[in-house]
Amino acid sequence: MSKKADLKLDWATHAAAKYACEHWHYAKSLPTPPIVRVGVWEDKIFKGVVLFSRGAGNNLVKPYGLRQDEGCELTRIALTDHKAEVSKIISISLRFLKLYSKGLRLVVSYADPNNGHNGAIYQAGNWVYAGKSTPGSSYEAPDGKVWHSRMVKKQGFTTCYGKRRSTWRPDQCTKIELEGKHRYLMALDPEMKKQIEPLGKPYPKRLKQAMAGSTGTAEGQHLPGRSTLGRA
């Protein structure tokens, strides 16, 4: 019987989160800030991060009667090889989120069937399954990289924080139709739990999922402060 690894979660630096996402997550990028970055270690070896952010849209939690600062999205689970169950890692990460992001009441996460995921890790953590999101699309650029439809602009550029950045145009790319994502909900207080429980639907059938990723560590892990998503 193999020895159980010593699991530790603590705050992660921006550099470590960036490394984990670029090496161990299919999106290959960080989500849009602000971001709560929870790092994962086993036997003092860095194994990756769990990241929470506001999500890509402004209406993430509006359907549940909440303001934008009352909810967030679990946007990345970027892990290399590890022994602990992912559902356990997520559960501990939620404690960090609740402790340091006051005012949050709901976490939303998505499992993307277009990438072979159906949300078994959320099912193991007793999240509420709220059905699928609206089907969407992405675009494959001439260089082979696939972009979300929000990142492909007819005018050929986007503006963020007052800075213009070039983008691909739809007419330069190949459009890919995508299946809607599985949506999971986790309440952070008893009242919200009562509110979302009636929304629950039967879990999607579990599929055998393989976790891919190269081994390695991110150096320079130091654990200063935190960022918050809710009201202070």
How far CA 33 is from CA of 30, 36, 55, 202, 229, in Å, comes to 8, 9, 9, 33, 9
- Token pair listed for 222: 């130091």
Mean pLDDT, residues 67-81 taken together: 96
Tell me how far apart the alpha carbons of residues 86 and 91 are, in angstroms, rounded to a whole number. 9
Q: Supply the pLDDT for residue 138.
A: 87
| 116-168 per-position pLDDT tens digit | 889 999 999 999 999 999 898 889 999 988 887 888 998 988 887 678 889 99
Q: Which residues pair with 226 in a beta bridge?
A: none
Tell me how far apart the alpha carbons of residues 182 and 118 are, in angstroms, rounded to a whole number. 7
Global confidence as pTM: 0.80
Domains and CATH numbers, the chain: 1-130+179-232 (3.40.630.30), 140-175 (no CATH)
Tell me how far apart the alpha carbons of residues 18 and 78 are, in angstroms, rounded to a whole number. 10
Which region among 2-6, 15-19, 102-106, 110-114 has the lowest average model confidence (pLDDT)? 2-6
